[in-house]
């Protein structure tokens, strides 16, 4: 229990999907409030929704519940106008600011932005940006506004870490204030944040920190592995061992996939002997779409989990929206949010200001078309972040008529064939419903230009789909439970890097667990970073000139290749995935062979597939089916079938 005296003040609690983590944390908070009412508690969650869930019926003034970004912003925002902070910002972003000023690609949107800045301040140089920057801020956006110092989601965390490293006195604001710190979903928490809290509680016996989460759900690259050494200092003796979600047969399969007794779960007594409608199955199919269709006829409400998105967004009628967000750097694989996260969240938790607004606008327009005028006015007056609430004040009948006339003009634009998002936003501004600042936030953002030129109908199509979803895509693999689930196995060689069938082949051959795989991944990744630092370039960029004719580089690569073979001698995973390539290079050190070594992509792709497979299976409460393409497993079909049966599946071929 959290209210007990602990010698080690750092704790890591494994909390797999379905383990009742939220209930557990709430009970710990209540226990502390009862037994140690003077204690001050900080709870850090991943989303506003999770924060609201934790706060239910917890009325103690000593409990602070906040999202990561909100808390970090509150921690450092009092110093946003300090000279030292402004100097640090300009120091950190000088290179990017100069690149934007130079605009060597002659990007039209950057050009317009630069012209706007010049018109406002007289000239645009790194020096003028520094001089005119009076305060930085957190923009709650995926992109940092370099000239105005408005930090993005990711940059806020990085900047806070750098600021606190430089001025560690800021850590006292954490360590002196709280006795207990709870961090939820630690596996998706940036190392920048984990570092801050680790330093805040270090050598402070009066502060206990608890990290909750599940390494199997660590699908994104928010966590880069740099905190691994410090994680080993955490006490892991407490764990959540009961799965409240799934029936006994599925829990058994999950335990067998994890393959580590220290992470084993038990079903609840009421779920232990529940008989599924269909036994857990692996279906090896030569026509996957047809097999899925057959199952959907039998189980109309079955959830289909696809790893790939493009085809699904085409079905929805929102392909261009997906392509536009997929092309944004802020939502590339490994960042905090994926395109699917942005395009599947109609709540206020959506981190993308444009998509959040478009979902809101779609709702408002729908209500207006349905003549639900009272609700329209109420929403527009409430959502002051986007709408000019003064435009929706009604004192006399003429005010109602004026608002209706303006809305009618907007609806006329909206209902026009091929109406673009840009045109609707312009119409909202022209009619005074949104202020210029909101319009500029959208139109001056380079990353949003492709979105603005997409038809508004795609937003409507997407919203309609999300209101009654029957298909979950890619990172939707990670989420709420469902009675019946079909997990559709597939590879992706681009982004995200998912190698499901190579994982199945390796899994059919070897016995391994997540900790074993992660240990190889993070240590090997660190070696690659050391190699490339010494080379001064990426191994993948080596050419005949920089390799064959460069004895220094060959010596470096040969030295590290021997070290790697020695370090991982007897490591079955390394031997299966990498060993032969290193031996081949040492025998014949040429460009062709060097391109095969010191590569993380294969290990990363298989590890990601391993996690997605586990997490996808964990979504099922009662019925679980794995759909596999027959031609993808022909070379190892017999071993794959044996492995699937061994862990608890019935196999149909």
Q: Decide if pLDDT at 647 tops 50.
A: yes
Using the 3D structure, point to which of 422, 449, 467 is the last residue of a domain: 467
Helix/strand/coil percent split, the chain, to 5: 55, 10, 30
Answer yes or no: is 586 within a domain: yes
Same domain? 327 vs 404: yes
**Average pLDDT value over all residues in the chain:** 90
Please tell me which residue, 607 or 298, carries the higher pLDDT value: 607
pLDDT, position 443: 85
Same domain? 489 vs 546: yes
Same domain? 406 vs 317: yes
Same domain? 382 vs 452: yes
Please tell me which residue, 141 or 94, carries the higher pLDDT value: 94
| Closest C-alpha to 428, from 401, 407, 456 | 407
The answer to whether 181 and 213 have CB atoms below 8 angstroms apart is no
pLDDT, position 57: 77
Provide the residue range defining the domain that includes 396.
Answer: 309-467
Q: What gap in Å lies between CA 310 and CA 293, rounded to an integer?
A: 19
Please tell me which residue, 313 or 636, carries the higher pLDDT value: 636
Same domain? 48 vs 186: yes
pLDDT in tens, 331-355: 875 566 778 888 988 888 888 999 9
Answer yes or no: is 366 within a domain: yes
pLDDT in tens, 545-573: 999 889 999 999 999 999 999 999 999 99
Q: What's the mean pLDDT in 17-31?
A: 91
Report the alpha-carbon angle 567-572-578, nearest 5.
Answer: 70
- Which domain CATH number covers 568? 3.40.50
pLDDT, position 314: 81
pLDDT in tens, 48-93: 878 888 888 787 889 999 999 999 999 999 999 999 999 999 999 9
Q: How far is CA 173 from CA 165, 178, 208, 525, in A?
A: 14, 9, 15, 34
The answer to whether 606 and 597 have CB atoms below 8 angstroms apart is no
Model confidence at 199, in pLDDT bands (50, 70, 90)?
very high
List 305's β-bridge partners, or say none.
472, 487
Q: At what angle do helices 637-647 and 248-258 cross, to 10 degrees?
A: 120
pLDDT, position 93: 96
| Closest C-alpha to 462, from 603, 594, 358, 592 | 358
Same domain? 579 vs 643: yes
Same domain? 552 vs 593: yes
Contacts of 290 (CB under 8 A, 6+ apart): none
Using the 3D structure, point to which of 224, 240, 256 is the last residue of a domain: 240
Q: What's the mean pLDDT in 640-652?
A: 97
pTM for the model: 0.77
Same domain? 117 vs 230: no
pLDDT, position 5: 47
Contacts of 506 (CB under 8 A, 6+ apart): 512, 573, 576, 577, 606
Same domain? 347 vs 392: yes
The total of other beta-carbon atoms located within 10 Å of residue 336's CB is 22
Q: What gap in Å lies between CA 217 and CA 619, rounded to an integer?
A: 12
Same domain? 383 vs 524: no
Q: What gap in Å lies between CA 527 and CA 564, rounded to an integer?
A: 8
Annotated binding site: 15-22
DSSP 3-state of 428: helix
Answer yes or no: is 1 within a domain: no
Over pLDDT 90: what percentage of the chain? 72
Residue 624: its H or E element: strand 620-629
Number of separate domains in the chain = 4
Same domain? 85 vs 219: no
Model confidence at 474, in pLDDT bands (50, 70, 90)?
very low
Contacts of 545 (CB under 8 A, 6+ apart): none
Annotated binding site for ATP: 15-22
């Amino acid at each position: 229990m959290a209210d007990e005296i602990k010698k080690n003040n750092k704790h890591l609690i494994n909390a797999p999907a379905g383990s009742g983590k939220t209930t557990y944390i709430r009970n710990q908070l209540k226990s502390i409030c009862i037994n140690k009412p003077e204690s001050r508690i900080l709870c850090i969650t991943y989303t506003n929704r999770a924060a609201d869930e934790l706060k239910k019926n917890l009325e103690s003034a000593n409990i602070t519940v906040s999202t990561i970004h909100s808390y970090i912003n509150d921690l450092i925002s009092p110093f946003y106008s300090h000279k030292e902070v402004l100097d640090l910002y300009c120091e950190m972003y000088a290179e990017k600011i100069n690149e934007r000023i130079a605009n060597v690609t002659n990007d039209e949107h950057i050009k317009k932005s630069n012209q706007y800045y010049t018109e406002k301040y007289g000239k645009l140089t790194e020096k003028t940006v520094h001089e005119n920057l009076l305060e930085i801020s957190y923009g709650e956006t995926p992109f940092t506004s370099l000239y105005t110092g408005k930090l993005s989601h990711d940059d806020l965390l990085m900047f806070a870490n750098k600021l606190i490293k430089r001025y560690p006195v800021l850590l006292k604001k954490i360590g002196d204030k709280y006795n207990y710190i709870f961090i939820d979903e630690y596996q998706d928490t940036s190392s920048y944040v984990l570092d801050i809290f680790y330093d805040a509680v270090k050598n402070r016996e009066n502060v206990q920190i608890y990290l909750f989460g599940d390494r199997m759900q660590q699908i994104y690259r928010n966590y880069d592995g740099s905190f691994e050494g410090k994680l080993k200092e955490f006490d892991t003796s407490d764990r959540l061992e009961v799965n409240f979600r799934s029936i006994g047969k599925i829990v058994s399969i999950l335990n067998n996939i994890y393959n580590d007794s220290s992470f084993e779960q038990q079903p609840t007594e009421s779920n232990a002997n529940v008989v599924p409608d269909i036994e857990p199955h692996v279906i090896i199919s030569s026509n996957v779409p047809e097999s899925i269709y057959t199952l959907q006829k039998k189980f109309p409400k079955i959830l289909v989990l696809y790893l790939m998105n493009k085809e699904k967004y085409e079905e929805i009628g929102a392909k261009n929206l997906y392509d536009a967000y997929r092309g944004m750097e802020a939502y590339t694989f490994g960042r905090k949010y994926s395109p699917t996260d942005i395009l599947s969240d109609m709540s206020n938790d959506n981190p993308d200001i444009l998509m959040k607004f478009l979902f809101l606008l779609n709702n408002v327009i729908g209500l207006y078309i349905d003549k639900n005028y009272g609700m329209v006015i109420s929403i527009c007056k409430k959502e002051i972040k986007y709408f000019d609430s003064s435009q929706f004040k009604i004192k006399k009948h003429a005010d109602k008529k004026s608002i209706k006339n303006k809305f009618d003009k907007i609806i006329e634009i909206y209902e026009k064939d091929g109406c673009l998002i840009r045109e609707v936003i312009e119409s909202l501004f022209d009619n005074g419903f949104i202020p210029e600042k909101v319009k500029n936030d959208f139109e001056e953002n380079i990353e949003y230009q492709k979105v603005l030129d997409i038809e508004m109908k795609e937003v409507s199509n997407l919203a309609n789909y999300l209101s009654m979803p029957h298909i979950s895509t890619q990172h939707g693999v990670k989420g709420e439970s469902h009675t019946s689930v079909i997990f559709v196995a597939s590879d992706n060689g681009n982004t995200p890097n998912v190698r499901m069938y190579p994982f199945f082949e390796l899994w059919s051959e070897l016995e391994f667990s997540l900790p074993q795989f992660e240990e190889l991944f993070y240590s090997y990744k660190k070696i690659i970073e050391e190699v490339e630092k010494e080379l001064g370039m990426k191994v993948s960029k080596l050419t005949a000139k920089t390799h064959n004719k460069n004895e220094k580089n060959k010596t470096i690569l040969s030295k590290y290749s021997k070290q790697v073979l020695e370090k991982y001698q007897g490591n079955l995973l390394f031997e299966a995935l990498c060993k032969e390539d290193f031996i081949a290079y040492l025998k014949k050190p040429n460009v062709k062979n060097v391109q095969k070594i010191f590569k993380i992509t294969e290990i990363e792709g298989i590890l990601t597939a391993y996690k997605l497979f586990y997490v996808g299976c964990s979504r099922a409460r009662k019925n679980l089916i794995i759909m596999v393409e027959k031609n993808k497993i022909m070379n190892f079909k017999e071993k794959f079938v044996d492995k699937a049966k061994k862990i608890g599946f019935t196999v149909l071929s």
